[in-house]
Amino acid sequence: MSKNPTASKEISANRRSRMSAVAATPSDAWTDMLGEQTILTLWNDASSSEDRAKQLNAILDALEGIAPRDELEGMMASQMIAAHSAAMECFRRAMLPNQTIIGRDENLGHANKLLRAFSSLVETFNRHRGKNQQKVLVEHVHIHAGGQALVGMVTPNGGSQDRT
């Protein structure tokens, strides 16, 4: 199933149980796929299996913090982790010693695009959860002679409730 045969092995039983808790689905196949896809997005500079285990645990910590509630949120959470990881790698490369100005500009440009994608994912994630809904608070309303005010919900067809 995986292009990387070691990715499945890296998802040990205890990590699989943690992953199941954050994958927001009872499907082991979906959980494994989502975990593998997320793992494979990280820059694999781990020099030892202990370093790689730390990376995998960091992914699980991030997913637990995001706490996806359904499969769609699980996908967005994985994409947010991937976008963040890739943006940070671009920033790292832009700051390498003896980096050319062109190399620095290209890496910073890629990082900028990835940060915009990340921001868009967070906004979509919050909208999916019902967060960030606009609320309007009106204080100190003065209605002068001959004026009218409307208080309450306005329906799309132009009707209203609770007229004052």
| pLDDT the model gives residue 134 | 66
Phi/psi region, residue 153 (left: phi>0; alpha: psi -120 to 50; beta: rest), is beta
146 near 155, Cβ under 8 Å?
A: no
48: pLDDT strictly greater than 70: yes
Question: What is the rounded average pLDDT of the residues 53-71?
Answer: 85
Backbone angles phi and psi of 66, in degrees to 5: -75, -35
35 near 11, Cβ under 8 Å?
A: yes
Residue with the larger pLDDT of the pair 95 and 145: 95
Residue with the larger pLDDT of the pair 57 and 77: 77
pTM, entire model = 0.68
- For the chain, give the mean pLDDT: 80
Residue with the larger pLDDT of the pair 11 and 66: 66
pLDDT in tens, 100-156: 999 999 999 999 999 999 999 999 999 998 876 666 777 777 788 887 777 676 677
40 near 4, Cβ under 8 Å?
A: yes
Sign of CA dihedral 16, 18, 24, 25: positive
| pLDDT the model gives residue 49 | 79
